[in-house]
Amino acid sequence: MIDVLIADDHAIFRSGMRRLLSDEPDMRVSGEAANGQEVIDLLQAGKYSVVLLDINMPGRSGLETLKRIRASWPAQPVLMLSMYPEEQYALIAIEGGANGYLSKDRDAGELLQAIRAAAAGGKYISPNVAVQLLTKPRHEASQAPHLGLSAREIEIMHLIVQGVSLTEIGEKLFLSVKTISTYRTRLLAKLGLESNADLVRYALRHELID
């Protein structure tokens, strides 16, 4: 039996995943978490075949949680799920130790296939991502400035380009406005940008947002 831990801060999404997996004779949802700390707590208390981990969660982000999982449970299968574009964030997630990455708009059958692959100790990359990785020059991917951002910087970048204010970002991530401002300054410097408008243009140019 494949025991799945679902980590997502949206209760409706978790409910939908429960219904989907309940129809599979070899799968069951054995745990649910709404944030990164709950994921760590559940892994400390029990074993799971696969962790379905959302990238964008309050507090510790999915990528930061993945880093913690890899440090404490190096063999734990983890699949990253997100609304962020696969073409960019699949590489970041997999290099961070994920067994696979799927955007939430993928077909349910593909998700089930990915779960089974991860549970067996393998990796899963969607056909779309595989084509992108094969056709994109490797040196170009490795030199993309945003690939050097930390998990928290990536999360804050996405919120900024969505038009979320620094105050709102701080409230969402449980951090002070001063800390968020420091993160913003740091990520702009790493990307060689000067303003939020530049950041939006960068995100569009690199297909980090729709």
Segments in 29-121 forming alpha helices (H): 36-45, 62-72, 86-95, 108-119
Q: For the chain, which domains are there?
A: 2-135 (3.40.50.2300), 144-205 (1.10.10.10)
Which residues, in sequence order, are bridge partners of residue 32? Answer: 6
Rounded to two decimals, the pTM is 0.71
What angle do helix axes 177-191 and 196-205 make, rounded to 10 degrees?
50
Mapped onto helix, strand or coil, the DSSP state of residue 101 is strand
- pLDDT at residue number 85: 67
- pLDDT at residue number 139: 47
Q: What is the DSSP annotation of 48-70?
A: -SEEEEES--SSS-HHHHHHHHH
Mean pLDDT by 10 residues, the chain (210 residues): 94 92 93 94 96 84 87 94 75 84 86 93 78 58 68 83 90 88 89 89 77
- pLDDT at residue number 158: 83
